Amino acid sequence: MLTIKDLQAKVEDKDILKGLNLDIKPGEIHAIMGPNGAGKSTLGNVLSGREGYEVTGGSAELEGKDLLDLDPEERARLGLFLAFQYPVEIPGVSNLEFLKASVDSVRAAQGKEPLDSVSFLKLARAKCKLVDLDQSFLKRGVNEGFSGGEKKRNEIMQMMLLEPKLCILDETDSGLDIDALQVVAEGVNSLRDPNRSFIIVTHYQRLLDYIVPDFVHVLANGKIVKSGGKELALELEEKGYAWLEDAAENGAS
């Protein structure tokens, strides 16, 4: 599904990713953990094509297609989805209009006709229900005045509507209470599919109690320094990251 080789990227002249390798097969869930400033969010931003993140080396391919050469909208149409850590508020643009524009674009890229307004509204309402958002949120401005939890649920709803191939959740658990966390996790679990993969970027092991990963990677100092199964997350919870960072420093020198 996704193959990342020796990926290097910088932000404002500062090297953040320093040779990251990752191979994700269809249907797998990979958790990426690591200390602050390790480059976790940078990975999601680089993969989705945000401006200001300059790729200086390496490659990233989604189903064999070079992602790094594409505009953000082209990547989304290929099936890449980034659930934002801080979803953006866009007053004046209704959530429903936004969702329809998004779904229509992705469908068009797949050679499908746009859904008519009535069918789309029906579909959007059904998805609202699944993530426990009141239907009134469809009429409001995109994320406008939403609480932290509502914004994250709105992200999961978009994921459900777009049915992407690769979902990257960038610290989706930050700022969520336990109830919202469960709603988000249930949303993600409902989307698990042999043809869909996930990258879950998180600080804490807590989310992984609800979304059980196939692999856990530790990202430190711009590289993956350790990989393992779901039990690695528990080990990290217990020991912290310092021992791995030290190992990485020593390994590098």
Partner 1 sequence: MTDFHKGLLAVNDENLSKESSSLAAIATLNKSGKESFLQQEIPTRKTEAWKFTSLFGFTSNEEGYGRLAASYDAAGLDALTTIPALDAQRLVFVNGQFSAELSSKESVANVVRFSEANEAQQAIIADNLGTAIEQEKHIFAALNNATTTDGVLVHVGKNENLKTNIQITHITTAQANPFTVQARILIVLETGAEATIVEHFASNSDEQNCFVNAITEAKVGPNARLNHYRLQLMQEGSIQIGGVHVDLDRDANYDSFQLGLGAKIVRNDINVNHNVGGSHCELVGVYLPQNKQLIDFHSNIEHKIANCTTKEVFRGIMADKSKAVFNGRIHIHPDAQKTLAELSNKNLLLSNDATINTKPELEIYADDVRCAHGATIAQLDEQARFYLRSRGISAAEADVMLSFGFINELLENLELDAVRNLIRPILAQRFGRDEELMQHIG
- For the CB of residue 162, give the shortest distance to partner 1 in the complex, in Å: 7
- Measured from the CB atom, the residue of 164 and 213 that comes closer to partner 1 is 164
Give yes or no for residue 91 binding partner 1 (CB under 8 A): yes
Out of 34, 39, 58, 87, point to the residue binding partner 1 (CB under 8 A).
87
CB contact set of 122 (below 8 Å; sequence gap of 6+): none
CA distances from 39 to 35, 44, 77, 164, 203 (A): 9, 9, 25, 23, 12
Q: Please report, as residue ranges, which positions from 40 to 59 form the binding site for partner 1 (by CB under 8 A).
A: 48-51
Give yes or no for residue 227 binding partner 1 (CB under 8 A): no
Which pair of structure tokens corresponds to residue 130? Answer: 């699944």
Give yes or no for residue 88 binding partner 1 (CB under 8 A): yes
Out of 11, 68, 109, 121, point to the residue binding partner 1 (CB under 8 A).
109
- For residues 214 and 248, give the distance between their C-alpha atoms in angstroms, rounded to a whole number: 23
- For residues 161 and 155, give the distance between their C-alpha atoms in angstroms, rounded to a whole number: 10
One-letter amino acid of 62: L
Out of 30, 77, 153, 223, point to the residue binding partner 1 (CB under 8 A).
77
> What is the contact mask toward partner 1 in residues 169 to 208, using x (rule: CB under 8 A)?
----------------------------------------
- Measured from the CB atom, the residue of 59 and 94 that comes closer to partner 1 is 94
Q: Is 211 helix (H, G, I), strand (E, B) or coil?
A: coil
Q: Is 28 helix (H, G, I), strand (E, B) or coil?
A: coil
Contact yes or no for 75/62 (Cβ under 8 A) = yes
Q: Which residues bind partner 1 (CB under 8 A)?
A: 48-51, 71-73, 75-77, 81-82, 84, 87-88, 90-93, 97-98, 100-102, 104-106, 109, 141-142, 158, 162
